[in-house]
Amino acid sequence: MSPRVAGSHPVHAGCRFRLSDLTVAVLGAGKIGSIMASSFSSCGMHVIATARSRERIERLRMQGFEATSDNAYAVRKASAVFIAVKPYQYPALARQIEGHVAGKPVVSVMAGIPLRLLRKTLPGAEVYRAMPNLNAAVKRSATGLVAPPGAQYKELVKSILSCMGRVYELPEQLIDAWTAVAGSGPAIIAEFIDSMILAALAVGIPRDLAYDAVLESIIGTAEYLRARPVHPAQLRDEVTTPGGTTITALKIIEGKGMKSALIDAVEKATARAARLAREIEAMLEETAGDPQGGGGQP
Ligand SMILES: NC(=O)C1=CN([C@@H]2O[C@H](COP(=O)(O)OP(=O)(O)OC[C@H]3O[C@@H](n4cnc5c(N)ncnc54)[C@H](OP(=O)(O)O)[C@@H]3O)[C@@H](O)[C@H]2O)C=CC1
Ligand SMILES: O=C(O)[C@@H]1CCC=N1
C-alpha cells in the first residue's frame, strides 16, 4: 500500500512522513468537514475539499482550499481520505469513490456507520471510524478513533487527526457511545450554557455579564478538574456550604432529575447511532445497482 501524494513522494505504510508533504481529501466539507479541512490545513497539509452545491464549493475556495464536486478526483490525489457527509448521503458518495480507494486509508466521521459497512462499500481501502467534535475549530476536539485490525496507516491517521485536538483510540463497541458523549457533547453543553444564562437573567444579571459569568465558570471548572485530580463530587462538596446557597440550588436540580435526564439522553443518542447503521444498510441494499446510489436524497 503506497498512496501517492500529489506533486510529492508516495506515503508508504509504516514509513516516516511529514504532514506538510501530504494531500488529504475531505469529502463533504460542510459544518464539521470544513472545520476538519481548516485544522488539516493549519498543520500544513494540502486539502482538497468536496461538496455538491456551487455555493459551498465557492465558499470553500474563498477559505483557501482546493474545492471540487469531483469526489473521485479528490480521492485519487489524496494520501488519506476523510468522509464527512451525512450518513444518508453516504450510499451515493460510496458509489462515486469505490473504484478509487484501494490501498488508501479512508476515515469516516459519520455517526453510526460501522467498519463492516465501510469495508463492504469501499473495497480494498483501509477503513477507520473517527468521531471528532465541533471544538476542533479551537483545536480542542476530543476525537475517538477506531482502527481496523492490523492497521498499517494508524500513525499517519492519528497524526492527521491530532491537528484537531486530542485523539483517543477506542474499540468499535464504544464509538456510538463516544458519538453521544463527545460528538454531540458540545450541543448538550451549549444547551446547559444557554439555560444557565437564562437563569442568570432571571436573577437580574445583565446579558453580557451573564454570558461571561457562565462561560468563565465552565472553562474554570473544566481546567480545575484537569489540573487537580479530584472527583467532580469532591469539587461539588468543596463549594457546598451547609445551609448555604449551593445546597439550595442542588436540591432543586436533584428534584428535577438533571442527572437521570442526561443519562437517558446519552443512552438514547447511543441507541440512535446503532439504528442509523441499520437504516443506511437498508438504503444500500435498496439502491444496489442504482448508479446514483440514492443520490436524489436531500
Ligand atoms: N456537525 C458535527 O458537529 C459533527 C458531525 N459529524 C458527522 O459528520 C457528518 C457531517 O455532518 P455535518 O457537517 O453536520 O453535515 P453538513 O450537512 O453540514 O455537511 C455535509 C456536507 O456534505 C456535502 N455532501 C453531501 N453529499 C455529497 C457528495 N456526494 N459529494 C460531496 N459532498 C457531499 C454537502 O454538500 P452541499 O452543502 O453542497 O450539499 C455538505 O456540505 C455526519 O455524518 C455527522 O454524523 C461528526 C462529528 C461532529
Ligand atoms: O447529530 C449527529 O448525528 C452528529 C454526530 C455527532 C454530532 N453530530
Question: Is 229 assigned a ligand-binding role in the annotation?
Answer: no
In a domain, 5, yes or no: no
Total-model pTM: 0.94
Q: Provide the angle, in degrees to the nearest 10, between the axes of the packed helices 258-286 and 90-97.
A: 50
How far does the centroid of ligand 1 lie from the alpha carbon of residue 60, in Å? 13
- Residue 164 sits in the same domain as residue 59: yes
Digitized pLDDT (tens) for each residue of the chain, 298 residues in all = 444 444 344 566 656 689 999 999 999 999 999 999 999 999 999 999 999 999 999 999 999 999 999 999 999 999 999 999 999 999 999 999 999 999 999 999 999 999 999 999 999 999 999 999 999 999 999 999 999 999 999 999 999 999 999 999 999 999 999 999 999 999 999 999 999 999 999 999 999 999 999 999 999 999 999 999 899 999 999 999 999 999 999 999 999 999 999 999 999 999 999 999 999 999 998 887 765 655 544 4
Residues in Cβ contact with 44 at an 8 Å cutoff, skipping those fewer than 6 apart: 18, 19, 20
Nearest CA to ligand 1 atom 3: 134
| Most informative mutation of 31, 82, 141 for ligand 1 (most atoms within 8 A of CB) | 31
- Cα dihedral 103, 109, 110, 112, rounded to 10, equals 90
Buried b (16+ CB within 10 A) or exposed e, 36-73: bbbbbbebebbbbbbbbeeebbebbeeeebbbbeebeb
pLDDT of residue 6: 41
pLDDT of residue 229: 86
The runs of H, that is alpha helices, within 43-179 are: 54-62, 71-77, 90-97, 115-121, 154-161, 175-178
pLDDT of residue 288: 78
**What total number of domains does the chain contain?**
2
- Residue 164 sits in the same domain as residue 245: no
Question: Is 87 assigned a ligand-binding role in the annotation?
Answer: yes
In a domain, 231, yes or no: yes
How far does the centroid of ligand 1 lie from the alpha carbon of residue 33, in Å? 6
How far does the centroid of ligand 2 lie from the alpha carbon of residue 184, in Å? 5
pLDDT of residue 287: 81
Ligand 2 pocket: which residues have CB below 6 Å? 111, 179, 183-184
How far does the centroid of ligand 1 lie from the alpha carbon of residue 83, in Å? 8
Question: Is 84 assigned a ligand-binding role in the annotation?
Answer: yes
In a domain, 10, yes or no: no
Question: Is 85 assigned a ligand-binding role in the annotation?
Answer: yes
How far does the centroid of ligand 2 lie from the alpha carbon of residue 142, in Å? 14
- Residue 151 sits in the same domain as residue 200: no
In a domain, 240, yes or no: yes
- Residue 134 sits in the same domain as residue 164: yes
In a domain, 13, yes or no: no
Domain with 251, as residue range(s), is: 185-256
Nearest CA to ligand 1 atom 14: 31
Q: Which of 74, 96, 60, 99 is nearest to 6 (CA)?
A: 74
Atom of ligand 2 nearest to the CA of 273: 3
pLDDT of residue 102: 98
- Residue 152 sits in the same domain as residue 232: no
Q: Provide the angle, in degrees to the nearest 10, between the axes of the packed helices 207-227 and 232-239.
A: 130
pLDDT of residue 7: 38
- Residue 168 sits in the same domain as residue 189: no
pLDDT of residue 17: 81
The runs of H, that is alpha helices, within 123-243 are: 154-161, 175-178, 185-202, 207-227, 232-239
- Residue 23 sits in the same domain as residue 167: yes
CATH number of the CATH domain containing 51: 3.40.50.720
> How far is the C-alpha of 19 from the C-alpha of 28, rounded, in Å?
21
